[in-house]
Structure 1
Amino acid sequence: MKLALKIDVDTLRGTLHGVPRLIEILQQHEANASFLFSMGPDHTGRAIRRALRPGFMKKVQRTSVVAHYGIKTLMYGTLLPGPDIGRRGADVMRAARDAGFETAIHCWDHVKWQDGAAKANVAWTEREMRSAHARYHETFGVEAQGMGAAGWQMNSHALRMTQRFGYRWASDCRGSHPFMPVWNGEVVLCPQLPTTLPTLDELIGTEDLTSDNVHHRLLRLTATQPKAHVFTLHAELEGLKLGDTLARLLTGWREQGYQLISLGQMRDALDLAKLPRHEMIRGAVPGRSGTLMLQGEEFLLPWKEAA
């Protein structure tokens, strides 16, 4: 059984402080992972525009956003100018690569993508993705091999760009198993490796779950659903205050028999010719405000349905 660890790095704080701590924790547990970096400005403070979104403020209170992100980060892009993550965090990004971890693209401007991608036109989408793609090449000296969209937000133009850039994999949605994405009948030839498990910030604060016991819930899920999983964690959470929670999860998954791998390693184990094709749809996920991309129904060609 394989479990891929997908690490979203959203902010400058997460890059400079969360990533080094995660490297340490992962190495202690002999776990591999993929670090997905935000390559442009940190405009975290502009997320306040989501305040009127149903469930957003409740999530802010439940997950202690100020404690995890810090006051300074929550002012970037509003009261403070947004720092350039790709410039100031380049050494840390390369340190993750040099430690043997896979690196990939999360986005250019996290808040801008998460709030705007769903309804963006082709010019806006290409500008954001090309900026991130170019900065990644500048930072690492090679082309990016994959991406995972900020907030699991995508549109048809972005999906096509994953194929045009030649990405070996993408992880832009929530779902149950790897697949080739379909949008309005159009197949995009870049395999999707969806997040299959709930994230810590979706669980903590619901029912009786805390940072001390939430690992039991996730371990029950992986024990009762023994298959290939993708777990998304965040440098700002598991890399900082929730580091001990992550350590308990890694220990538990090892005891359950899971290999802790990168997204690239998961992709390498796939037979792409046999991957099912599924529609990409929008929907809601418990514990998260708004809508995001989900793995929809399997897309069957007419002659296969007839058979």
Structure 2
Amino acid sequence: MKIALKVDVDTLRGTLEGVPALLDLYQRYGVKATFLFSLGPDHTGRALRRIFRPGFFSKVQRTSVLSHYGLKTLLYGTLLPGPHIGRRGRDIMRQVEKAGHEVGVHCYDHIHWQDFVANRDAEWTQKEMQAAIDSFQEVFGHQPSVHGAAGWQLNKHTLQLEQQLGFRYASDCRGQSPFIPHMEGETFQCPQIPTTLPTLDELLGCNGITEANVHEAVFAASRKPAPEGHVYTLHAELEGMKLLPVMEKLLQLWQKAEDDIGTLAEYVADLNTAILPCHELVMSEIEGRSGVLAVQGSKIDVGRNKATQA
């Protein structure tokens, strides 16, 4: 089975502490991953605005947010000013690329994007995406080729801008297989490579799953048939820190099964993107996560502009 590793880096602490730990782990196991960076200010503390979102409190209790992110990070953007991740973490980001991993854009301001993009216009969306690209170019000296939306949150303007701004592919949503996205009556040409496996924060504390056995749940999900393989999204703040042993156990299981572990770029290289099916991209709920997020929907017959069953 092909397993693409997508590392979302949301915070300054995740960049400075979680990323180096993952680099060391991946070097020891001889694997590469795709690291998607938050490149602007760390305003993690502003996530408390989600306090009235259904399921928010239950997730906080299940996943022990304070122990993973730390008090200082949870104050950024409220009682403490938000440090600029791209400037403070650029040396570590460059080490990631130097080590042979793929690097790309997660966002500029993670909380700002995740909480507001769904209801914003094209101008707002372009400003945010361009700020992230500009910061990326300052760090790496070249254009990014992959975008992965923070919190799996987007609007149709995101999809339009991905093809206009030169991204080769994107991983903005949850789903089952690669596809060409169709949203609000429009089809967009930048392929979507969805996350197919559940994340740790969606599994922990549910159905008897603990830190001791969560790797087994993820591995079991990765045994489900998937002709193109699976995409696993992990977080530098979780698998790169307190839950690093979980990541190591997963690598051991996948390597024992002789799975092909690698980057999104390697995953895409085996696809014929010219013949990918077209699917609706919808905002929907998934188990274990509060609120709605971008999800792969029904297959579209573009010729007849009519939805069909996937």
Taking structure 1 as the reference length, the TM-score comes to 0.97
The yes-or-no answer on 1:269 pairing with 2:270 is yes
Query: Which SS does the other structure have where 2:82 is aligned?
Result: coil
Matched with 1:15 is 15
The yes-or-no answer on 1:289 pairing with 2:293 is no
Aligned residue identity for 2:28: Q
Matched with 2:116 is 116
Mapped contact 2:6–2:232 kept (Cα < 8 A): yes
Q: Percent identity?
A: 51
CA distance in 1, matches of 2:267, 2:207: 33
Mapped contact 2:278–2:302 kept (Cα < 8 A): no
Matched with 1:76 is 76
Matches within 5 A, 1:162-173: 162-173=162-173
Mapped contact 1:223–1:256 kept (Cα < 8 A): no
Query: Which SS does the other structure have where 1:289 is aligned?
Result: coil
Matched with 1:99 is 99
Matched with 2:235 is 234
Matches within 5 A, 1:248-267: 248-267=249-268
CA distance in 1, matches of 2:149, 2:201: 17
Matched with 1:25 is 25
CA distance in 1, matches of 2:169, 2:305: 26
Mapped contact 2:176–2:226 kept (Cα < 8 A): no
**Cα deviation digits, residues 95-128 of structure 1 (max 9, x gap):** 0001110000000000000000110111111110
Matches within 5 A, 1:211-230: 211-225=211-225, 227=227, 228-230=229-231
Query: Which SS does the other structure have where 2:301 is aligned?
Result: coil
CA distance in 1, matches of 2:257, 2:225: 11
| Structure 1 residue 257: Cα displacement | 2.4
CA distance in 1, matches of 2:22, 2:87: 20
Mapped contact 1:168–1:267 kept (Cα < 8 A): no
Query: Which SS does the other structure have where 1:264 is aligned?
Result: helix
Matched with 2:58 is 58
Query: Which SS does the other structure have where 1:3 is aligned?
Result: strand
**Cα deviation digits, residues 224-267 of structure 1 (max 9, x gap):** 43541000000000000000000000111112221111011111
| Structure 1 residue 222: Cα displacement | 1.7
Mapped contact 2:182–2:279 kept (Cα < 8 A): yes
Query: Which SS does the other structure have where 1:7 is aligned?
Result: strand
Aligned residue identity for 1:82: G
Query: Which SS does the other structure have where 2:137 is aligned?
Result: helix
CA distance in 2, matches of 1:284, 1:138: 36
| Structure 1 residue 73: Cα displacement | 0.2
Query: Which SS does the other structure have where 2:71 is aligned?
Result: coil
CA distance in 2, matches of 1:10, 1:302: 39
Matched with 1:243 is 244
The yes-or-no answer on 1:141 pairing with 2:163 is no
Structure 1 unpaired stretches of 5+? none
More deviation, 224-233/170-179: 224-233
Structure 2 unpaired stretches of 5+? none
**Cα deviation digits, residues 270-304 of structure 1 (max 9, x gap):** 10111111110010011100000000111113469
Mapped contact 1:282–1:293 kept (Cα < 8 A): yes
